[in-house]
Amino acid sequence: MDRGIVKGQTFSSEFQRFDQDLVFIKRDHFWPRSNRQIDVFGKFWWLFLRGEKAQDVKVFANKQWVRRPNEYALLCPPFSMVQWQLDPGPLQWEAYISPTPLPLKWNQGAVLIPWRTKSIFARTSDLIAELDAVHHQEPLLPLENVSAIGLRTKKYIDSHFTEDLSIQTVANNLGFHFKVMSRHFYADFGLSPSLYRNKLRIMNAKCQMLFQDISVLDAAVSSGFSTPGGFNKAFHKIMGLAPSHIPNLKKQN
């Protein structure tokens, strides 16, 4: 099992790699003020668990802000999104990350699920088996609440986010007027197509550096960034630290 610790101005994260395709994170964070943010998850899925200080976290689910008890977890399949509302003060959470494919029933977007086990899973197969035993889920964004234009745009970006395409080209390829496409996308997901793609690229690069023996430059290029400077600036803006601070757990074998 490999470990790495990352410290920012307001947080500390401990990373543990249990096997080749499973990383466990424990995050301690202090929010100086109220904050709303949107996280975007790329090719890797995340399972968020409550820490001891998670009482002030809300997620935007089915057009309203909700808070669930500690017996719930948040599963974020590949290419899902989450809107968080965070109150000032200390916050602790834990999460698993994996590139291993999930069963099809979990690939329709982020969901809240009952989660009462206190076990720590060292193998991805055991964690997925535990997920398979869950029969209740609350989708954060049911597909019937998403416009056809917004959904088609998202799916296209998901499939082409590493390519050097302008958002205008995305609109042209889909046969949409740029402003109409952007307006529908923002109304559906709360951010612009450009920012959505940028967040996808950053998260993809971060997870690559965690799981693969890859340099910062190679992670940037393979995630769709054309220059190291642009990648470093975007990474710091979204993640709050330089990409060189992300531990490469693969190298520590």
Tens-binned pLDDT, residue by residue, of the chain (253 aa): 588 888 888 889 999 998 889 999 999 988 888 889 999 999 999 999 986 655 568 899 888 898 877 789 999 999 999 999 988 888 889 999 999 999 988 988 999 999 999 889 999 999 999 999 998 999 999 888 899 999 999 999 999 999 999 999 999 999 999 999 999 999 999 999 999 999 999 999 999 998 988 899 999 999 999 888 999 999 999 888 889 888 876 644 4
Q: Do 72 and 97 form a contact (C-beta atoms < 8 A)?
A: no
**Domain over 146-245 is classified CATH 3.40.50.2000:** no
Residue given tokens 């466990």 in the structure block: 24
3-state secondary structure of 163: coil
pLDDT for the residue 54: 54
Task: Output the six-digit token pair for 231.
Answer: 């990648």
Q: Can you tell me the distance from the alpha carbon of 242 to that of 244, in angstroms, rounded to the nearest whole number?
A: 5
Q: Can you tell me the distance from the alpha carbon of 166 to that of 14, in angstroms, rounded to the nearest whole number?
A: 36
Domain at 2-143, CATH from 2.60.120.10, 2.40.110.10, 3.40.50.11740, 3.90.1150.10: 2.60.120.10
Task: Output the six-digit token pair for 160.
Answer: 């082409």
| Parts of the chain belonging to CATH 2.60.120.10 | 2-143
pLDDT for the residue 143: 83
Type of residue found at 54: A
3-state secondary structure of 75: strand
| Parts of the chain belonging to CATH 1.10.10.60 | 146-245
The candidate with the shortest Cα–Cα distance to 17, out of 25, 6, 9, is 25
